[in-house]
A and B are shown apart, each in its own frame.
Chain A
């Protein structure tokens, strides 16, 4: 069986009720064609390119210009025993074997970061989370960063990378999960309202290795995260989870490309987003999100199993959620491949049911939104961070972070 492809684009209007999107379109190879560390190899985007057409280029103009850094993000870390953090010079040979940038922003991040910070997690390291906190003081500051996470073969690691405060930040994160190793990576955009952040998380999954990623974009003015995953041997397993909450004026964009080029690997993508804009504020009041899920199964990748799902919840009419799953299959000898995308309005029947049980409308809304995200958040498996995300979502909804988490309480 040869190439068949499914692509779907859903410019969702708020009037749409939930719907499953699966439109068939001609095969189109979404894999990057240029891999390079040199920004000059990537022309400045015009906005017409497939990979830039959803991005508000003006808001990323300063990053796309690519001037050298004026500042660095403040950086603090907690590391379990055995984990090593060191700094690599730009010409360090260790940087040569890493997955290459695939667009202008990621190439600029590598070039301007001028070297990298490397976190090495050996097999015998402690298994508590490695926590890296990056903080910026002002959206005026321009900062670049290249971080390398090197999980050695058979290591078991959790890395939490948290971004707070504000900045114009261009990030390249190189992740290598060694053979037989497991990495859980939590990448949090809990920025202040005026931050601009472009990230490329580039992951290589080793033979029989497991990569679990959790992205959360719950802040910032414009955030664009590109995750690329490839496999260096059979038996690799990648799970990409994510949540985002976009409010009036915010642009939150998550793009992923999973490239299955070796046999018997798995990938599973699950993203959930909520959007609430301000219908009174015109264009400025629109909450915006973009989710692009590209999965490529090349001819050699027999025995592949992949599924991707994006669900979005619209909490007002001033919202626009683009959701484009795209699956390209060049071999018929796979275990399974599927995708779904659904964007729906907040369900008034749920609200009525909860209110009919005495629960005030605002608390009922919070329950429903929490419930919507619960399926993803509880899969994080780190209770302390789950609570932080829950509180942050409550704040986005306009509640004081309540600290009340009935589920855990009632379960005692």
Chain B
């Protein structure tokens, strides 16, 4: 049983006119086995939250804490965070020219598990995981994210989640750009990992569509750099019906 705890997190980025605060006091606790949906309008700071937890150098933490079972995540390098069990499925995965998917996955799995997987079992493991996500075996020979369609990039992110078995997975708009079939396949992948009960999931999304396939235990409404409302799955239904307007107006008035 692990706990990821975010306390009063303030984050800013360097913009033209100096530092600009984007996260303005985020509080959130995620435990193993739980699925939290974070929903909010464009530009509310959802990706900023995800990147800040993962340690992207562009974001400056001005105050607050992030801990994983008490350990100070913010003091760790990006790769240490990943090895501690954090995983970020990115909204816009990065192309790495000349590096094959198979080489990349193997290097990553080796780093996370602390030893290189045995070649024979590894090839099988990768093949099975790819089949589960309806990815053609030829993907393993392609360069990381290079020329991948939007949907292929997202499958590739979830493939990594399945192979790396993180303690906490942050999925940043994994549903965007997916057609219904792909959305099902990807959601099944996430559910397979979640079914172990050992992963806590932070599902960042703009739309309620993915919540038909991945059932959240908690829903948080994210507006203007902070959580402004939270509840159970019924909150998502309400957002579906009424949109973010009322929350955005309330935040603007505060």
Binding site for B on A (CB under 8 A): 347-350, 352-361, 363-364, 367-368, 370-375, 406-407, 409-412
Contacts and interface: CB of A to CB of B under 8 A. Distances in A.
B211 interface: no
A320 B119 CA distance: 42
A143 B170 CA distance: 62
Which among A355, A356, A363, A370 has the greatest number of chain B C-beta atoms within 10 A?
A356
Nearest to B84: A358
A364 to B, nearest CB: 8
Contacts of A364: 79
B94 interface: yes
Contact of B99 (A349, A361, A371, A411): A371
Given A367-B96, A375-B97, A357 B102 contact: no
B184 interface: no
Given A352-B56, A358-B164, A361-B79, A368 B108 contact: no
A349 B93 CA distance: 9
Contacts, number: 98
Given A410-B119, A411-B102, A350 B79 contact: no
B108 A357 contact: yes
A358 B112 contact: yes
A347 B107 CA distance: 19
Interface in B229-248: none
The 10 closest A-B pairs by CB, nearest first: A371-B98, A374-B98, A355-B78, A358-B82, A358-B111, A357-B108, A371-B99, A353-B94, A358-B112, A355-B79
A367 B108 CA distance: 11
A24 to B, nearest CB: 29
Given A352-B57, A411-B102, A359 B119 contact: no
B168 to A, nearest CB: 13
B100 interface: yes
Contacts of B102: 406-407, 410-411
A357 B164 contact: yes
A350 B96 contact: yes
27 contacts: A352-B56, A352-B94, A354-B108, A355-B55, A355-B77, A355-B78, A356-B78, A356-B88, A357-B82, A357-B108, A357-B111, A358-B83, A359-B107, A361-B77, A363-B107, A364-B79, A367-B104, A368-B96, A375-B98, A407-B100, A407-B102, A409-B119, A410-B102, A410-B106, A410-B123, A411-B102, A412-B119
Given A348-B57, A352-B78, A410-B119, A359 B98 contact: no
A296 B215 CA distance: 65
Contacts of A359: 79, 107-108, 111
B57 A353 contact: no
Given A355-B77, A407-B102, 10 more contacts: A352-B57, A352-B78, A357-B108, A358-B111, A364-B79, A367-B104, A371-B99, A406-B103, A406-B107, A410-B119
Contact of B79 (A360, A370, A375, A407): A360
B111 A363 contact: yes
A374 B146 CA distance: 14
Contacts of B223: none
A200 B160 CA distance: 49
Which among B88, B107, B140 has the greatest number of chain A C-beta atoms within 10 A?
B107
A350 to B, nearest CB: 5
Nearest to A372: B98
Given A349-B94, A371-B96, A375-B97, A357 B160 contact: yes
B78 A370 contact: no
A218 B175 CA distance: 46
A357 B112 contact: yes
Interface residues on B, range: 35 or more
Contacts of A411: 102, 141
Contacts of A406: 102-103, 106-107
B39 to A, nearest CB: 23
Interface string B71-87: 00000011101110001
A409 B123 CA distance: 11
Contacts of A407: 100, 102-103
Given A406-B103, A410-B102, A350 B94 contact: yes
B93 A353 contact: yes
Interface in B115-172: 119, 122-123, 140-141, 143, 160, 164
B143 A371 contact: yes
Contacts of A412: 119
A159 B106 CA distance: 35
B50 to A, nearest CB: 10
B90 interface: yes
A364 B144 CA distance: 13
A367 B78 contact: no
A360 B110 CA distance: 11
B9 interface: no
Contacts of B141: 411
Nearest to A407: B103
Contacts of A373: 98
Contacts of A374: 98-99
Contact of A358 (B99, B100, B108): B108
Contacts of B90: 353, 356
B117 to A, nearest CB: 10
